[in-house]
């Protein structure tokens, strides 16, 4: 459950009705950040805290994510997930077990930990600078409000490095009162990763148990 909530961000990157409250500079900064994540190979180390109103304690998890377009590799919570754009492999090193599944387009979006941000790119969602939160000379905070009131979140708060436009933190404000806090500890653009980095090699793991759901 924790993993699914995390990957639905951010994990959950759509059309919206035009809204007048868009700040061109805020939109440009946001779209630059999304473009970096969509068109570059990147490595992201992050931690996530999920605060649910019905839970007695906050859930937290840390992980490392490699991204290349819609492909990703995610190391988190004792498992390693690979996704090559069509097929997902979830490997459990402790039990030497892998689950393989074909993923639909909607499920692909939910599996990409930063896909929720891409829903706002090029859309008419409200995108403005947040002037009520603390910033420094090196960062800026952008608020995203969906025009679609059926969206899971009523607001996303995105903190960016002002110069590089690399994301530093993302906060999702859920309509059910849930708050998801994602802190990005490191964000690196890498030389282009080969597609083989996002495919799990079953043959390389002797004695592995395979659960093939395709």
Q: What are 127's strand-pairing partners?
A: 144
Classify domain 2-212 by CATH number. Answer: 2.50.20.10
Query: What is the domain partition of the chain in residue ranges?
Result: 2-212
Return mean pLDDT, the chain.
85
pLDDT tens string 65-113: 999 988 999 999 899 999 998 899 999 999 999 999 998 766 665 556 5
Whether 19 shows a pLDDT value over 60: the answer reads no
Q: Exposed/middle/buried for 128, CB within 10 Å: 0-12, 13-18, 19+? A: middle
Report the C-alpha gap between 159 and 141 in whole angstroms: 4
The pLDDT of residue 171 is: 94
The pLDDT of residue 17 is: 29
Range with the poorest average pLDDT among 1-5, 119-123, 125-129: 1-5
The pLDDT of residue 14 is: 28
The pLDDT of residue 69 is: 86
Report the C-alpha gap between 171 and 46 in whole angstroms: 13
Whether 12 shows a pLDDT value over 80: the answer reads no
3 state SS of 54: coil
The pLDDT of residue 113 is: 52
pLDDT tens string 184-194: 999 999 998 99
Number of continuous H segments (helices) and E segments (strands) in the chain: 4, 12
The single residue listed with the structure tokens 């679609």 is 148
pLDDT tens string 124-159: 689 999 988 989 899 999 999 987 777 778 999 999
The pLDDT of residue 89 is: 96
Q: SS in 3 state form for 115-163?
A: HHHHCCCCCCCEEEECCCCCCCCCEEEEEEECCCCCCCEEEEEEEEECC
């Amino acid at each position: 459950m924790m993993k699914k909530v995390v990957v639905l961000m951010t994990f959950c990157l759509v059309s919206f009705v035009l809204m007048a409250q868009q700040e061109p500079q805020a939109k440009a900064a946001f779209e630059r950040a999304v473009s970096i994540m969509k068109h570059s190979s990147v490595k992201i180390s992050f931690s996530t805290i999920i605060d649910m109103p019905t839970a007695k304690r906050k859930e937290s998890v840390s992980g490392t994510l490699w991204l290349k377009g819609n492909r990703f590799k995610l190391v988190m919570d004792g498992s390693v997930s690979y996704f090559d754009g069509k097929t997902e492999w979830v490997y459990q090193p402790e039990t030497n077990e892998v689950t393989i599944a074909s993923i639909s387009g909607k499920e692909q979006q939910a599996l990409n930990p930063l896909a929720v941000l891409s829903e706002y790119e090029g859309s008419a969602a409200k995108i403005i600078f947040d002037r009520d939160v603390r910033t420094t000379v090196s960062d800026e905070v952008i608020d995203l409000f969906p025009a679609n009131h059926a969206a899971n979140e009523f607001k996303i708060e995105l903190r960016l490095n002002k110069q590089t436009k690399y994301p530093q933190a993302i906060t999702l404000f859920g309509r059910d009162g849930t708050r998801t806090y994602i802190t990005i500890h490191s964000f690196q653009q890498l030389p282009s990763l080969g597609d083989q980095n996002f495919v799990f090699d079953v043959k390389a793991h002797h004695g592995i148990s395979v659960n093939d759901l395709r």
